[in-house]
Amino acid sequence: MPSDMAHRKEVLSSSIIREIKVMGNIVPIGAESAENWQHHGFGKKLLDEAERISLEEYGKKRIVVISGIGVRNYFRKYGYERLGPYMARELK
């Protein structure tokens, strides 16, 4: 059995998103492409659904995302803030 020290306090009573990926051809930030999947709001829709499931189906008041440095500003755009190594958002 793992000890209580095996888990980070930031994730207690939280939902966790491991990663969000919209797959397809790479589209530069600011560019638009009707044929490709990126930059059409699918990532935001995935975030919204994860938040809804966390709150409505599991009663979790916080969601945390495992996020590297390069994507932190993406999550900040949607109200997430740094919490240890994660980006987190309180759910209402």
Domains and CATH numbers, the chain: 4-90 (3.40.630)
- Tell me the mean pLDDT in the region 19-48: 76
- Tell me the mean pLDDT in the region 43-58: 95
Please state, rounded to an integer, the average pLDDT across all residues of the chain: 85
**Rounded-to-integer distance, Cα 54 and Cα 14, Å:** 8
Q: Rounded to 5 degrees, what angle do the CA atoms 73, 76, 78 make?
A: 125
Q: How confident is the model at residue 8 (pLDDT cuts 50, 70, 90)?
A: confident
- Report the C-alpha dihedral over residues 70, 74, 54, 19, rounded to 10 degrees: -30
Q: Taking the model in full, what pTM does it have?
A: 0.78
Q: Percent of the chain at pLDDT above 70?
A: 83
Give the least confident one: 9-13, 21-25, 47-51.
21-25
Contact 75, 83 (CB under 8 A): no
